[in-house]
Amino acid sequence: MKAQLHAYIERYIPFSQEDLDTFYSFMTPEIVPKKEFILKAGDICKIKFFIINGLTRTFKIDSKGNERIIHFGIENWWATDLESFVLEKPSRLYIQALEETTLLTISKSNLEKAFQVIPKLERFFRIVTEKTLIAVERKNEHYIKMNSKERYYVFVQELKDFSQRVPQYMIASYLDITPEYLSELRKNK
């Protein structure tokens, strides 16, 4: 777990074993069973979760009461409601484990301490945030500006194995399609 975190960080910056030990000491491992929530709307997101393995989904409830999946999280991703975390305001999002998921958690206060002790972590999180931003913008460009059929094919093509782990109605939700219509699309392949 520690080694995995180390490898992940070293993708972006050089990081000594000492730094790793220090950073790791601010974190708490946690195993979350399937279906359990790690964040609920209304709560303030005070913890960042680094996913060691497993699968999460982040979703909100729209004005009609439907769940809308915003993104999935897999190993080596951070699951957080950044808006809630940064601004310390109640979240509008839910984050739920779809499989048994192993996490490394770090509280906001511990993260700030870590920044003080290991300044290069600022660089690391700057880069990680940039990567996340790029991914989010690419999703928008890719998906939103296509019609449903294109979106579905791009999704399946890019994430073939992943699309097996998730029920179809969740993929529909993520792609902003009704489950019925997605079913239609699959038929007329």
Chain residues in the site for DNA (CB under 7 A): 64, 147-149, 167-169, 176-184, 186-187
Binding of its own copies by 61 (CB under 8 A): no
Binding of its own copies by 181 (CB under 8 A): no
Binding of its own copies by 134 (CB under 8 A): yes
Binding of its own copies by 145 (CB under 8 A): yes
Q: Residue from 11, 16, 35, 86 that binds its own copies (CB under 8 A)?
A: 86
Distance CA 95, CA 42 (A): 12
Between helix 148-158 and helix 168-175 the angle, nearest 10°, is 120
3-state secondary structure of 52: strand
Residue at 41: amino acid letter: A
Q: Taking CA 126 as the corner, what is the angle to CA 130 and CA 73, rounded to the nearest 5 degrees?
A: 55
* Residue given tokens 């791009």 in the structure block: 154
For its own copies, the binding residues (CB under 8 A) are 60, 62-63, 68, 70, 82-83, 86-87, 92, 115, 119-120, 122-123, 125-126, 129-134, 136-138, 140-141, 144-146, 176
